[in-house]
Amino acid sequence: MLLSGLAQAADMTAAEQASAKELAQASGCLSCHALTEKIVGPAYSSVAEKYKADSDAVASLVQSIQYGSKGKWGRIPMPAHPSLSGDDLKTLATWVMTVKK
């Protein structure tokens, strides 16, 4: 299944990070999220900080992005993103875990 064998938030090269950020931009993520500041959704640096000790963080963030999320950060829910491919979900979740304040 999709979630088996996901790598942990390992190192991405700078080029991989840049292309993941473009994917986030193209996917509309950055209208609600910024890297180091809360907008509608939490800053990605805050997400990375919150889950840094969680070895399943990438897999669980894939689920949150794909199916939506509510109640983890506040009262505003995140909508589901059903049209993203498994690869794109994994890239985005892995990238979020690399964002530093």
What does the binding site for ligand HEC look like in residue numbers (CB under 6 A)? 24, 27-29, 31-33, 40-42, 47, 60-61, 64-65, 69-74, 76-79, 81, 92, 96
CB of 1 to ligand HEC, least distance (A): 19
Which CB, 74 or 86, lies closer to ligand HEC? 74
Quick one: CA torsion of 41, 92, 51, 35, rounded to 10 degrees?
-50
CB of 83 to ligand HEC, least distance (A): 10
* Distance, CA of 24 to CA of 33 (rounded, Å): 9
CB of 91 to ligand HEC, least distance (A): 9
Residues with Cβ within 8 Å of 52's Cβ and at least 6 positions away in sequence, in order, are 97
